[in-house]
């Protein structure tokens, strides 16, 4: 990456810090699309966030991004309960992480007016999440998991070092 871009992104991170986001340096944040609830976002050291991140933190929840995490371009994180992204994880781009669904009740209402169902999402350390993968409510990924590109992971508990692929996401093997 060119040095002038790194400097610009470091300045962007300082700007987020000055507006209330908790950021530990060094690290960089590319231009974000949208950040709702930035006072409830904690970003650790050596975190690299590429352009296009959209984050929505509702209902006093806290998003914690531990040290040495990479969040690729155009990721979207929406939470209404606390979520921690484990250290040394890599989200390669266009990923979705959420612990919210719009409840399948009150179907006579617009989907945005329906109550939310919230289910815990657990993300271990040293994850590798392929491009376009979605991590949805009820997902639990142990340390060292690999999630294949475009996988949709919901209501699944994957043990340490599991490989998760497909729609719906399923464990295909565990690496010893």
Q: Which residues contact 121 (CB under 8 A, 6 or more apart)?
A: 79, 83, 97, 98, 99, 135, 136, 137, 138, 139, 140
* Most confident of the ranges 27-36, 45-54, 99-108, 152-161: 152-161
pLDDT tens, position by position, 55-79: 999 999 999 999 999 999 999 999 9
- The pLDDT-based confidence of 114 (bands split at 50, 70, 90) is confident
Give the pTM: 0.88
Domain boundaries, the chain: 3-137
Give the H/E segment covering residue 9: helix 3-18
Query: Does 2 have pLDDT greater than 70?
Result: no
Judged against a pLDDT cut of 60, whether residue 1 lies above it is answered with no
Alpha carbon separation from 128 to 87, 154, 161 (Å, rounded): 11, 17, 10
Give the per-residue pLDDT at 60.
Answer: 94
Distance (Å, rounded) from C-alpha 45 to C-alpha 35? 19
Q: Specify the range with the lowest mean pLDDT, choosing from 7-11, 29-33, 159-163.
A: 7-11
**Mean per-residue pLDDT of the chain:** 91
| pLDDT confidence tier of residue 5, bands split at 50, 70 and 90 | low
pLDDT band for position 6 (50/70/90)?
A: low
Provide the 10 A C-beta neighbour count for residue 24: 15
- Fold adopted by 3-137: UDP N-Acetylglucosamine Acyltransferase; domain 1 (2.160.10)
pLDDT of residue 102 exceeding 80, the answer is yes
DSSP line for 116-151 = EEE---EE-SS-EE-TT-EE-TT-EE-TT-EE-TT-
């Amino acid at each position: 990456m060119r040095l002038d871009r790194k400097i610009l992104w470091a300045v962007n991170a300082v700007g987020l810090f000055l507006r209330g986001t908790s950021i530990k340096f060094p690290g960089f944040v590319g231009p974000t699309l949208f950040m709702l609830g930035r006072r409830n976002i904690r970003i650790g050291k050596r975190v690299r966030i590429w352009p296009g991140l959209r984050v929505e933190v509702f209902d006093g929840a806290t998003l914690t991004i531990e040290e040495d995490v990479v969040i690729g371009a155009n990721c979207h994180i929406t939470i209404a309960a606390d979520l921690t992204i484990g250290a040394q994880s890599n989200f390669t781009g266009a990923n979705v992480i959420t612990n919210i669904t719009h409840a399948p009740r009150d179907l006579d209402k617009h989907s945005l007016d329906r109550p939310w169902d919230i289910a815990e999402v657990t993300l271990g350390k040293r994850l590798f999440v392929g491009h376009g993968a979605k991590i949805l409510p009820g997902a639990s990924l142990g340390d060292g998991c690999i999630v294949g590109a475009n996988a949709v992971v919901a209501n699944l508990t994957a043990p340490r070092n599991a490989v998760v692929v497909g729609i719906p996401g399923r464990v295909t093997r565990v690496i010893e």
